[in-house]
Amino acid sequence: MTEITRDRPDAGGHFGAYGGRYVPETLVPALEELEAAFEAARQDPTFQHELAEIERDFAGRPTPVYHAERLSSELGGAQIWLKREDLLHTGAHKINNTLGQILLARRMGKQRIIAETGAGQHGVATATVCARYGLPCVVYMGEEDMRRQALNVFRMKLLGAEVVSVTSGSRTLKDATSEAIRDWVTNVRDTFYIIGSVVGPHPYPWMVREFQSVIGQEAREQMQGRLGKLPNLLVACVGGGSNAIGLFHAFLEDEGVVIHGVEGGGHGIDSGAHSATLGQGEPGVLHGAMSYLLQDAEGQVQIAHSVSAGLDYPGVGPEHAWLQDTGRVHYASVTDEEALTALQRTCLTEGILPALESAHAIAHVIRVAPEMRPDQSILVCLSGRGDKDVHTVAEHVKLDG
C-alpha cells in the first residue's frame, strides 16, 4: 500500500475512506489499463509537451487572472480576483480535462469516445476534442437537462456528436452518468469513457484532478506575480468538483490560504431541494466511488436540485469528501436566488456574464468579502461563461425597460 498524500491517492485509489473502485467486474481490466496508460503518459515529456501545446493553441491557455475592481470596491472588503476559465475555448474549464483524456485515448488506440453531461459544457468540450481528433463521440444527457440546455445540445450536434437522451430516474446528470457507465460496460474493449468531473472509479478522480490542476498552478504563479504574495482565500463552486479541485490543489500545502468550496443550495437547505452533497449528504457509494451522497434513510440516491444544471448532482468527488473530513477545505452553499443575484451583479459591475455554476462562487464571495480587509485578496475560479444560461436566467429574472 502506498501512502495517501495530497499528491495522489493510495494504490487502490482511496483518499482516506473515500474513492476506490465500486464497479462491475467487467470494467476491471479497462480501469487497470487506463491507470497504467495515464501513469506512463504523465511521466512522458512528449505527452506533456503535446498537451501543453494544444492547451495553448487550441484552448487558449494560460487564462488570465483579472482584478474585479468595481465589484471589490462595491463590497468594500477584500480584493476580488477572477481566474478566467470562462475565456477558454468552449466556454469553461471542462476543455482542460477533455484534451488530456482524448490524448490519452489516442495513445491507447481507442476508437470510440463516450461521455456524460449535465449542463452540456462537458458534452460540448468532449464533442469538440472528438471533432478535433476525428473520433466518433456519443454523449449521454438527461432529458430534463436537454430541455434546460437546448443550446448546448445543438452545439454538440454541430460538432458531430450523437446526443442520447436519458429518460430513466431523474433525467439529469446522475442518470446520464449511469447510462454512460452501462455503455462502457457493454463496449469496454474499444471505447474510452471521458468522465467530466473528479468522480467515478479510480483512476478518474485522480486523473481528472491532474488535468484540471493546471488552473491552480497557473493562478498561483500569476497571483504571486501580480501581488507578490498568495491570495488569502480561494473560492470555487462544487458540483462534482473538478474546477474546484483544479484551483485548490496547487494551494493545499499553503497553510495560510483559506479554501472554500460552494455547493448549490437550491431553494434553501431546509427545503430539501438542493445539491449540497458535502453539507447535507452521508458517505455512500455511487458511480464507482465512495464519497458523500444525497440519499434517503434506505440508501436510495436522492434527486438533487439546483438552478444550475452543472451543480445538480447528488454525489461529489471523493477527494473533496476527504478534504472536508480533514478540515483543509470548508464547504458552504448558496441558494439559486443568491446565485442569480450574483450573476446579475457580475454583469453590471464587471461586464462579465458568469455561468450559473460560477455565479455560486461569486455569491459566496459577496457574502464573505465585506468581512475581510481591503489589503486581503480572494481568488475565485470563474469556471465558465454564462451564455448557455441566458434562457434559464430569463425565466427567473425580470428586467425593466
Partner 1 sequence: MTRIAKAFEKTRAEGRPALIPFLTGGFPTLESTVPLILAAEAAGADLLEIGLPFSDPLADGPAIQLSSQRAIENGATLKWILEQVREVRKTSQLPLILMGYLNPMLRYGLDRFVHDAVQAGVDGMIVPDMLPEESADVVAASREHGLSNVFLMAPTTSEERIRKIDALSTEITYAVALTGVTGARGDLPADIEDYLARVRKNTEKPFVVGFGISAPEHVARLKGKTDGCVIGSAIVKQLDGTSGDEATRRLTEFLTSLRSS
Whole-angstrom Cα distance, residue 364 to residue 377?
A: 14
Q: Does 181 bind partner 1 (CB under 8 A)?
A: yes
Using CB under 8 A as the binding criterion, the count of chain residues that bind partner 1 stands at 38
For partner 1, which is the closer residue by CB, 173 or 259? Answer: 173
For partner 1, which residue of 15, 18, 23, 65 counts as binding (CB under 8 A)? 23
Question: How far does the chain reach from its first CA to its final CA, in angstroms?
Answer: 64
For partner 1, which is the closer residue by CB, 268 or 283? Answer: 283
For partner 1, which is the closer residue by CB, 17 or 40? Answer: 17
**Shortest distance in whole angstroms from residue 299 CB to partner 1:** 3
What is the identity of the amino acid at 334?
V
* Exposed e or buried b per residue across 72-107, where buried means at least 16 C-beta atoms within 10 angstroms of its C-beta: bebbebbbbbbbbbbbbbbbbbbbbbbbbbbbbbeb
For partner 1, which is the closer residue by CB, 31 or 159? Answer: 31
Nearest to 307 by CA among 198, 399, 394, 400: 394
> In the β-sheet with 112-117, what is the strand arrangement from edge to edge?
162-166, 137-142, 112-117, 191-193
Residue 299 CA to chain centroid, in angstroms?
Answer: 25
**Ramachandran sector of residue 268 (left: φ over 0; alpha: ψ -120 to 50; beta: rest):** left
**Shortest distance in whole angstroms from residue 54 CB to partner 1:** 31
Task: Choose one: 85-93, 130-138, 181-189, 366-374; the region binding partner 1 (CB under 8 A).
Answer: 181-189
Task: Report the chain's C-alpha Rg in angstroms.
Answer: 19
Task: Choose one: 25-33, 44-52, 148-156, 365-373; the region binding partner 1 (CB under 8 A).
Answer: 25-33
Which residues between 285 and 324 bind partner 1 (CB under 8 A)?
A: 285-288, 293, 295, 297-301
State the residue for C-alpha cell 456528436: 161
DSSP 169: T
**Shortest distance in whole angstroms from residue 42 CB to partner 1:** 23
Q: Does residue 245 contact residue 9 with C-beta atoms inside 8 Å?
A: no
**Shortest distance in whole angstroms from residue 163 CB to partner 1:** 19
**Shortest distance in whole angstroms from residue 284 CB to partner 1:** 5
**Shortest distance in whole angstroms from residue 38 CB to partner 1:** 18
Point out the residues that are catalytic.
94, 116, 383
Whole-angstrom Cα distance, residue 350 to residue 90?
A: 21
For partner 1, which is the closer residue by CB, 151 or 185? Answer: 185
Which residues between 2 and 21 bind partner 1 (CB under 8 A)?
A: 12, 20-21
DSSP 27: G
Which residues between 269 and 288 bind partner 1 (CB under 8 A)?
A: 282-288
Which residues between 146 and 175 bind partner 1 (CB under 8 A)?
A: 168-169, 174-175
For partner 1, which is the closer residue by CB, 185 or 347? Answer: 185
For partner 1, which is the closer residue by CB, 25 or 270? Answer: 25
For partner 1, which residue of 4, 6, 22, 330 counts as binding (CB under 8 A)? 22
Q: Does residue 118 contact residue 154 with C-beta atoms inside 8 Å?
A: no
Please name every residue paired with 163 in a beta bridge, in sequence order, or none if there are none: 139
**Shortest distance in whole angstroms from residue 167 CB to partner 1:** 10
Which residues between 27 and 56 bind partner 1 (CB under 8 A)?
A: 27-30
Whole-angstrom Cα distance, residue 275 to residue 311?
A: 7
* Ranges of H-type helices in 351-385: 356-368
Whole-angstrom Cα distance, residue 362 to residue 214?
A: 21
Nearest to 139 by CA among 128, 90, 353, 148: 128
Which residues between 353 and 382 bind partner 1 (CB under 8 A)?
A: none
Q: Does 128 bind partner 1 (CB under 8 A)?
A: no
DSSP 300: P
**Shortest distance in whole angstroms from residue 297 CB to partner 1:** 7
Binding pattern for the stretch 184-223 against partner 1, x by CB under 8 A and - elsewhere? -xxxxx----------------------------------
For partner 1, which is the closer residue by CB, 178 or 358? Answer: 178
CA atoms lying within 13 Å on the CB side of residue 206: 26
- Residues in touch with partner 1 (CB under 8 A): 12, 20-30, 168-169, 174-175, 178, 181-182, 185-189, 282-288, 293, 295, 297-301
